[in-house]
Each structure stands twice: as C-alpha cells, then as structure tokens.
Structure 1
Amino acid sequence: MEASPLILRAHDWVVELDPAHGGQIVRADWQGLPALAPGQAGRAAADQHAGCFPLVPFSNRIRDAAFRFLGREIHLPPPEYMEPHALHGTGWRTSWSAEASGPGNARMWFEHPRGPWPWRYRAEQTVSLEAGQLHISLSILNLDSEPMPAGIGLHPYFVRPQGLWLNAHTGGRWATLPGETGLPHARDAAPEDLGAPGHDHCFFGWDRRAEFGGADGLAVSITASPALGNLVIYTPPDEAYFCLEPVSHVNNAVNMDALAQAEQMAVLAPGEQLQGAMTISVRPA
C-alpha cells in the first residue's frame, strides 16, 4: 500500500513529506516563509526541482552507469539509473514507508533487494523539527552477505533570493570538462563567488558549514555531520532555485583512483552502516 503524505507542524514549521515518491520532503516552511523551494506531493522527485530528496546508495553520477568492484563488473541500466551516467542512486525513485512519532518527528525507510545494484540494503531517514531548525538524517545498512560500496547525501533545493550571497569554506573543487557536467576531471581552486550562476561542481575539504541569504526571504545556514564532508553546489543559470548538497563522496568516486579518504565511497561489510545528517537553520533575512 502506498504511503500517504505526512505533514509535520511544530516550532513554527510546516513540513510535508511524500514517502511514496522518493522519500522526499516536498515543502518546509518556517513562519510562513519557504526554507526549501516548494514542490508538490504526488510528483516524482526526479520531475520537480524542489524540496529535498535522499541520495542512496551513491551520490551524483557514476560514469557510463558502470564500475568494477572486487573483480565484478557492475552495470546500472536505465530507467532506474538514467543515462548515459547513473544519477543519484535509487532512493529518489523508490517508494518509502513512513510513520510519524509526534507533531515534529517522522521516519521513512525502505529495503532494496538484489537487482542491477547487486547488494541488499536498508535505507532510513529521520526528520525532526526544533525552533528554527530542520534536522534530516540518512543511513544505509548493508543487508547483504558481501561487502558493498556505499555513499549517501541529501539534495535540498533552495529559493534563490535577490542579491544572493553564499559563504562556504572548502579546500577546492573538482573541475569538469566541457560536455561532462558533474564528472570530475581535475582539482582546482574554489571560485570566489560560490553563488554565481553556472556552478555544478563537487567541492572537497568542506568544513561542513555553509550559509546564504539575500535581500528577501530567509537567511539560511546548513551544517553537516562528519560523514558528509563534501559539498555539491549547483547554481543553474536563469532558475529560481539553487542547491547545496552535503554528500559522503565526490562524484564518480567509485571509478576514480588516488582520492583522499574523505572523498571515497565507503565499503560496508555485511551488517555495517553509514550514517550522515544535515541541519538547516533559518532566521529572517
């Protein structure tokens, strides 16, 4: 049976969850102002640039939807993994179960059987509300009998205010080649204006804090737990939204050598879990 949307109301928040369509948060308003770009329940997360959806069992892209792991060739076919590069894992295209445990707390989860992604796992999200803060946690548990590569992340969309300013401290970014959006090519320095239109890069060495604001709306800061030490910044030109995505590994990490440990995908032994969390804090601009 498909899980119905859940609405949480607490501490001046109104937050709507749509577990059946990718375990997504489709709306998060604080004191009547949108902390996330508002979406619509009943629509797939892949079809709307809004809210926040989970990235599991990997973040961003895997080149050519293929990789080699412990001597096995793994191929991730469309439509589940898109093409030509697998994108954002399976969680955002999966129906999650859900339950609320109070006016400001909820849990969503699903279990993934073996398939093109040839390992069994369980993913779980929790959402909780406090005064001026929205907490989201995400975990993946290896249910398989073999080791599994794993990554997680959160993909929030924010309203782009007039006069956007954006601050984040990173060690640099992974640049991409023309025509290879989102696929890392080489390290370079972080640009001076992180809020400028046209970014679609993964930033490494992130101190797990970022803040932004503008002439209207809310001033917002995000903080992430140690497992989410990389940050994808996506600022498409001529759009009313942008994204700050705390993630556990760099794009296409499973196909890359000589990465720093904090940039790699985890390898989970049977029964092992990877967990990360993000807090969105808001105040009037």
Structure 2
Amino acid sequence: MSDDIVLTAGDAEVIVQPGNGGRIGGLRVSGTQLLRQGERFGCFPMVPWCGRIRDGRFRDGTTVRQMPLNSPPHAIHGTARDGAWRTARVTADEAVITYDLVEPWPHTGRITQVVALTEDTLTLTMSVETYDSSFPAQIGWHPWFNRTVEGADVTLGFSPAWQEERGEDHLPTGNRLDPKPGPWDDCFGMPGGVDVTLTWPERLELKVASREEWVVVYDEQEAAVCVEPQTGPPNGLNTLPRLVTPLEPLEATTTWSWRRL
C-alpha cells in the first residue's frame, strides 16, 4: 500500500505520503496549512544521508562509494525520498511506513518511520537497520514551512552554540564560527539538542525539537523556510559517520509542537 494516509487528532491533520518518498505532504492546524504544498515539498526524510556529499563520494570502510550527482557537483539528501515506501500499520493518529534500501545505495537495509500525531504535537521517529554488513548513515528531515501563514510572516528563534563555516561548495569547511545573522543555508550546532521556534506573529508558534545536535536552516526562498534536524552535518558520511550495524541500528526523533497565539 502506498496511498496517502490522513491522520487526525483534535483540529490537527497530517497527510503521510508513502508513495512520494515517505514524506509528510501536509500539516493543518485549525484548517491552516503550515507546510509548503507540491510534490517536492511538504517534509521529506533525508536518509541514508543528509544534505550534500562532496562529489557524491564517501568512504565505506576501505572502499570509496560513488553516489549519483543529483545536485552537481554533489549528491544530496539521500535516496529514500526518491522511492515508494510501504505502509506497515495505520491508526487514526499514527502511521508506520517502511522503505528497503536499493541501488544506488550499496548496502541492504530497512528504514522505518513512525508518524505520531496529537492535538498539539507531531513526532517523527526514523530508524535504519541492517541484517547484513555495517555501513555509515545519517537520518534527518527536510520540512518546508510556509513563510507566510494567515498573512503573517515567520520569524525564527534559536540559540546555536556555533555555525559551521560554509565553503564555496556549500559544504562545511570544518571550522566553527560564532553564529551569524541570516539569510542562511547553513548548518548549526546545538549540543543540548535542536530547539528552534518558528513564530507567525499573532497567529501560531511552532517549535522544532530533537535530541540530535545538528540543524540546517535554509531561509533563502521567498515561499518557505526549512529547519532540518539531523544526526550529523552535511558531508557527514565523510567527516562524522554514524555506523549502522546488525546489532545497533541508527535512530532519531524530531517533535514539532505548536500553539495558537
């Protein structure tokens, strides 16, 4: 099954799209759509890597792997958003969907995403597991929040410990800077966990939280703002790999909570 799934809780509604890369196609609160609409937007999973891989190459043990350059000269945002996921379980307010890794990713493995809705929160939990060989991986989410909601333009509030210096190739150089004012297409470190608040004045406040310490903020588009919690920085398969093993899957969670103002 890959049909769209509608979850409801109170006046909140979420559309889950297994057939469109396992993305969240929409989030409505009191009838107001918070996510940019369109086949490429909503909120898509970034897995088995997040952001860009330099030149599409990463080291996998003693082997150098090459991924397709879908954002030349780099590979970007993983492969799972390009495939159809399967629906494992659905209730009124929760969905579980899965995706089996296939080429061009060189390893077998299964990704599971749990989408859980309450009246004032959306929790996304994703895991990557393998029953075969170990491999490096990352997990993240790429939501496109509408910049304007009910006529109000969003403001961002967050206090990162550092900002990753961005090179001309859009990848972190390895240097850490004091956070600079936007606009951003940048990765930030939040060692206490991701904690970013989007406020549409006099309309709604939404907090993006995660125990992970990395977040990419992208606000260079006129229509939307992206706040992307992830398990490592862009190019992290090379610079800060997290290993998935048969005994230890990789798991991450993000929770969005909101309130009317």
TM-score by length of 2: 0.91
Matched, 1:156 2:143: yes
Distance 2:67 2:198 in 1: 36
Distance 1:151 1:163 in 2: 32
Distance 1:56 1:199 in 2: 22
What's the counterpart of residue 252 of structure 1? Answer: 235
Query: What is the CA-CA distance between 1:70 and the residue it aligns to?
Result: 1.5
Distance 1:159 1:11 in 2: 22
What's the counterpart of residue 252 of structure 2? Answer: 276
Distance 2:129 2:88 in 1: 19
Q: 1:120 to 1:99 in 2, by over 3 A?
A: closer
Specify the SS of the correspondent of 1:236.
Answer: coil
Runs of 4+ in 1 over 4 A off after TM superposition: none
Q: Give ranges in structure 1 of 5+ residues lacking alignment.
A: 257-263
Matched, 1:130 2:118: yes
Matched, 1:203 2:188: yes
Alignment of 1:145-224 (within 5 A): 146-161=133-148, 162-178=152-168, 180-181=169-170, 183-185=171-173, 186-191=175-180, 193=181, 196=182, 198-207=183-192, 208-215=194-201, 217-224=203-210
Distance 2:143 2:11 in 1: 20
Query: What is the CA-CA distance between 1:101 and the residue it aligns to?
Result: 2.8
- Let me know the Cα RMSD of the aligned residues: 1.8
Moved more, 69-78 or 242-251: 69-78
Deviations 1:199-238 (A, max 9, x none): 01111134321112133542111111x3x2200000114x
What's the counterpart of residue 213 of structure 2? Answer: 229
Distance 1:63 1:251 in 2: 9
Contact persistence 1:248–1:265 (CA under 8 A) = no
What's the counterpart of residue 76 of structure 2? Answer: 87
The amino acid of 1:173's aligned partner reads Q
Distance 2:19 2:154 in 1: 33
Contact persistence 1:35–1:282 (CA under 8 A) = no
How many pairs were matched up?
A: 256
Q: 1:11 to 1:265 in 2, by over 3 A?
A: farther
Q: Which structure: greater strand fraction?
A: 2
Contact persistence 2:49–2:237 (CA under 8 A) = no
Distance 2:202 2:142 in 1: 23
Query: What is the CA-CA distance between 1:22 and the residue it aligns to?
Result: 0.5
The amino acid of 2:136's aligned partner reads P
Distance 2:22 2:172 in 1: 28
Deviations 1:115-148 (A, max 9, x none): 332111100111111121111111111232x220
Distance 1:89 1:118 in 2: 12
Query: What is the CA-CA distance between 1:169 and the residue it aligns to?
Result: 2.2
Distance 2:100 2:58 in 1: 23
Alignment of 1:112-123 (within 5 A): 112-113=101-102, 115-123=103-111
Matched, 1:30 2:29: yes
Specify the SS of the correspondent of 2:246.
Answer: coil
Deviations 1:6-46 (A, max 9, x none): 11122211111111110011111011122323x24xx3xxx
TM-score by length of 1: 0.84
Contact persistence 2:88–2:98 (CA under 8 A) = no
What's the counterpart of residue 69 of structure 1? Answer: 60
Percent of aligned pairs with the same amino acid: 28
What's the counterpart of residue 54 of structure 1? Answer: 45
Query: What is the CA-CA distance between 1:100 and the residue it aligns to?
Result: 4.5
Moved more, 162-171 or 22-31: 162-171
The amino acid of 1:164's aligned partner reads V
